[in-house]
Chains A and B, each alone.
Chain A
Amino acid sequence: MIETTQLTRCFGSTVAVDNLTLSVGSGEILGLVGPNGAGKTTTLRLLATLLRPTRGTAIVEGYDIVREPERIRSIVGVVGDNQALYDRLTIYENLDFIGKMYHVPDRERAERIRELLDIYDLWERRSCRVGTLSRGLRQRISIVRALIHDPHVLLLDEPTANLDPPTSLKTRKLLAHSDGKAIIISTHNLREAEKICDTIVVMHEGRVVARGAASELVRKFGSTQAIVIRVKGLSPDQRRDIEKAMQPSDVAFKENSIVVSIKDYDADATEVIRKMLELGIDVLEAHPARPELEEVLVKIIEEA
């Protein structure tokens, strides 16, 4: 469980995190999104007790980040914004070193390393020096490293950056099934945030400018500006007729769908469908074109 209250961190005159108040329960995944410099990485570093707050407090699993940082570090797993791996050591040596630093007993440590390296298809390469590996493989190791001591809390900065799609999927599944862990993920990958995060917090210039489930944010901030009509099929003549009838609205044809731009879905949708039927188009279904979370995020930040 993570709870921050007016958490603030300044670097000189720059306020990197400004009065941040948020809460993440056990078993919950919170996504931090926002443009570069929004304060996401600083927030994670504050919670990992790598930085001290200028003002405000945060409690992680009942421990205060200022008064009990060592206790917090022992129950938190961190994937940083850089991979922070020892190039001159092998994969196994890197993981064994960090496992020892988290006081994982010898036998358990060896088993855990084997288990996690197996998940990420790295066991056979355990004796490779990390410096010889690609960024994607290094990213896998940094994820394994964060999980080595089976932490209660995970703070992940762009965890799937550089990963190939199957490994990203594997990671998402692993996180989604990490029962009881409180997880904060900072990401620019909004599709990923949408898929795995229970709550999304949008940060801008150190402040929280919006929060909620992805669907809530889209509903609240995304205006529907088009209608998608699925049809049986269209002849070239029908396409011409539709374009003429819908003027001055923009019309786009995508396989068996027609996308018509409108000003207001509730007010204009019925009229568009009526015109289609008049033109003899076989309408199968119609629904609002759901804006992408990305567009919503841009709008939120522009309005902030």
Chain B
Amino acid sequence: MRGDIITIVEKDLREFKGTNQIWIPVILLPLLVSIGLPVTVAFIPSAMTASGAIPEVPAGLLKNIPEEMRLALNSLQKDEQLAFLFIAYYFAPTFLVVPLAIPAVLCADSFAGEKERKTIEAILATPISDSELLVGKMIVPLVASLSSSYLAFTIYSYLTNALIFHRFIFPTSSWILIMSFLVPALTFFSVGTMIIISARSKGFREAQQMGGMIVLPVFVLLVTQLLGIMSMTGQGLVSTSIVLLTLDVLLLKYGSRTYNRDHLMSNS
């Protein structure tokens, strides 16, 4: 019943509210990415040169960038190119840590934490079905992650335009694709993976430690992007999102099979 799902969501929010070890990373991480990255790009490069002039883009960084990015760079002034390259291209994978890490923290507490504290038994004794319970417990991590990501993206875009370029230049079409497809796909990926991890782990800490590995795809993206194997633009983004969404469906299907009363009680 929908009312039960809402009741679970309200209870989870109330529980999270007073828990700093959950809220601090959920607030700090998006702020660090959305404010830290544009501020760094706005002030550090000019401070690195003796004259205070913004350096040109090193040739090595341009070697593996896709054609779409090369064209965008050419349309900019020389002193804007380095900042644009980082803001619009190289920082994209770093930004994706937000939709991956936030559900990992929240799910670890909501799923594995509740199992560890044995409070799950109280909910399992009520008439709610396994699938409603799963949906109810997924909502807070999903909504918190997506809203943090979009809020961080809005701050990132505003600071980029206001501090670095002094005009409306960001988001690019690639970033719109990232936010529309890749971020939701990664959020679901994180939630699905954490359900499976939580079902197997004994408690919050263990789930959080194992969940730390969830950001590994970001490093894979970063390295493949630097090497020019994969680009976070256009078609590359769409195909990555499709692969991830397919993986999400499989993860959630498998996760929902492990998230049932018998399994939870047998392994508690």
Chain A interfacial positions (CB closer than 8 Å to B): 11, 45, 48-52, 69-71, 73-74, 76, 78, 80, 82-89, 93, 97-98, 100-103, 145
A84 and B119 form a contact (CB under 8 A): yes
Q: In the complex, which residues of chain B have a beta carbon less than 8 angstroms from the beta carbon of A102?
A: 126-127
**Do residues B127 and A145 form an inter-chain contact, with CB atoms below 8 A?**
no
B262 — nearest CB in chain A belongs to which residue? A52
The reply on B4 being an interface residue by CB < 8 A is yes
What's the nearest-Cβ distance from chain B to residue A24, in Å?
18
Chain B contacts for A48, CB-based, 8 A = 125
Stretch at the interface among B14-22, B34-42, B219-227, B242-250: B14-22
Contact A50 B127 (CB under 8 A): no
In whole angstroms, what is the CA distance A45 to B4 when docked?
A: 22
> Within 8 Å CB of A93, what residues of B?
11, 14
- CB neighbours (8 Å) of B176 from chain A are none
- Tell me whether B125 and A73 are in contact (CB under 8 A): yes
Q: Is the CB of B266 within 8 A of A51?
A: yes
Report yes or no: B265 in contact with A50, Cβ–Cβ below 8 A: yes
* CB <8 Å contact, B11 and A86: yes
Smallest CB separation, B119 vs chain A (Å):
5
| Contact (Cβ within 8 A) B262 A51 | yes
List chain B positions with a Cβ less than 8 A from chain A: 1, 3-4, 7, 10-11, 14-15, 18-19, 117-129, 261-262, 265-266
Known interface pairs A86-B11, A86-B15; A51-B122 also in contact (CB < 8 Å): no
Question: Tally of A-B residue pairs with Cβ under 8 A?
Answer: 76
B206 to chain A, nearest CB (A): 19
Nearest residue in A to B6 (C-beta to C-beta)? Answer: A100
Asked whether, in the complex, the Cβ of B125 is within 8 Å of the Cβ of A86, the reply is no
Bound Cα distance A48, B125 (Å):
7
- For the residues of B in contact with A, the DSSP-based class is helix
Can you name the residue of chain B whose Cβ is closest to the Cβ of A75?
B127
Q: Note all chain A residues with C-beta closer than 8 A to B3.
A: 100, 103
Q: Which of B7, B119, B128, B265 contacts A45 (CB 8 A)?
A: B265
Contact A11 B126 (CB under 8 A): no
Q: Which residues of B contact A100 (CB under 8 A)?
A: 3-4, 7
Please give 5 more A-B residue pairs, beta carbons under 8 A apart, in addition to A50-B261, A103-B127: A83-B118, A86-B11, A86-B15, A93-B14, A101-B126
B125 with A80: CB separation less than 8 A: yes
Partner of A101, one of B7, B118, B119: B7
Chain A neighbourhood of B266, CB < 8 A: 11, 51
Q: Are B18 and A50 in contact (CB under 8 A)?
A: no
When distances are taken between beta carbons in the complex, the residues of chain B under 8 Å from A86 are 11, 15, 119, 122
Write out the residue numbers on chain A whose beta carbons fall within 8 Å of the beta carbon of B7. 97, 100-101
Q: Contact check, A82 vs B262: say whether CB atoms are below 8 A apart.
A: no
Q: Are B14 and A89 in contact (CB under 8 A)?
A: yes
User: Within 8 Å CB of B119, what residues of A?
Assistant: 84-86
Say whether, besides A49-B261, A100-B7, A101-B4, A88 and B122 are in contact (CB < 8 Å): no
Q: A49-B261, A51-B265, A101-B4 are in contact. Are A76 and B125 (CB under 8 A)?
A: yes
Q: Are B127 and A73 in contact (CB under 8 A)?
A: yes
Residues of B within 8 A of A76 (CB): 125
- Assembled-state Cα–Cα distance A87/B125 (Å): 18
Q: Are A51 and B118 in contact (CB under 8 A)?
A: no
Q: How far is the CB of A147 from chain B (nearest CB, A)?
A: 13
A78 touches B125 (CB 8 A): yes
Let me know if B126 and A73 touch, CB within 8 A: yes
Q: Which residue of B lies closest to A145 (CB)?
A: B122
**Is B11 in contact with A89, judged by CB distance below 8 angstroms?**
yes
- CB contacts (< 8 Å) of B117 on chain A: these are 87
Instruction: For the complex, give the distance between the alpha carbons of A240 and B69 in Å.
Output: 110
The one of B118, B120, B122, B129 in contact with A98, judged by C-beta atoms closer than 8 angstroms, is B122
Report whether A101 and B261 are in contact in the complex, using a CB–CB cutoff of 8 Å: no
On whether the beta carbons of B127 and A74 are closer than 8 Å, the reply is yes
Query: Given the complex of chains A and B, what is the CA–CA distance between A84 and B262 in angstroms?
Result: 17
Cα-based distance from A148 to B160 in the complex (angstroms): 55
B11 A80 Cβ-Cβ under 8 A: no
Partner of B123, one of A11, A71, A89, A101: A101
Q: Which residues of B have CB within 8 Å of A83?
A: 118
- Give the Cβ gap from A185 to chain B, nearest Cβ, in Å: 16
Chain A residues within 8 Å of B10, by CB: 97
List A contacts of B128 (CB < 8 A).
Answer: 70, 101
A101 to B265, Cβ gap below 8 A? Answer: no
Least CB distance from B241 to A in Å reads: 37
Q: In the assembled complex, how far is the CB of residue B59 from the closest CB belonging to chain A, in whole angstroms?
A: 55
User: Are B122 and A80 closer than 8 Å at their CB atoms?
Assistant: yes
Closest to B264 in A: A50
Chain A to chain B contacts (Cβ below 8 Å), 21 pairs = A45-B265, A50-B124, A50-B261, A51-B262, A51-B266, A69-B261, A73-B126, A78-B121, A83-B118, A84-B118, A84-B119, A84-B120, A84-B122, A85-B119, A86-B11, A87-B117, A88-B14, A88-B15, A93-B14, A97-B7, A101-B127
